[in-house]
Amino acid sequence: MQPLFDAHSHLGGAPALSVGRRVVCGTRESDWGTVLDSAAADPGVIPMLGLHPWFVAEAAPGWEGRLETLLRTHPAGVGECGLDFSRKDADRSAQTAALRIQLGLARDLERPMALHAVRAWGPLLTLLRTEGRLPKAMVHAYSGSPETARELQALGLWLSISGARLETHGPAAQASLLAVAEDRLLLESDGQADLSAVLACVARHASEDPAVLAARTWENGLACFREVLA
Residue 230 has pLDDT above 80, yes or no: no
CA 187 from centre of chain: 10
Contacts with 160 (C-beta within 8 Å, 6 or more apart), sequence order: 7, 8, 138, 139, 140, 141, 142, 185, 186, 187, 188
What is the C-alpha to C-alpha distance for residues 64 and 53, in angstroms, rounded to an integer? 14
pLDDT tens digits, residue range 142-193? 999 999 999 999 999 999 999 888 888 889 999 999 999 999 999 999 988 8
Q: In this structure, are strands 113-118 and 77-84 parallel, antiparallel, or unpaired?
A: parallel
Q: What is the mean pLDDT of the chain?
A: 96
| Type and span of the H or E element at 219 | helix 210-224
> Given this model, what pLDDT does residue 12 score?
84
pLDDT at 15: 72
Average pLDDT on 202-225 reads 97
pLDDT of residue 165: 87
Where are the chain's structural domains?
A: 4-228
- Specify the CATH number of the domain 4-228: 3.20.20.140
Lowest pLDDT segment from 7-16, 63-72, 97-106, 215-224: 7-16
Residue 5 has pLDDT above 90, yes or no: yes
Can you give the pLDDT at residue 14? 67
- Collapsing DSSP to helix, strand or coil, 83 comes out as strand
Residues in the chain: 230
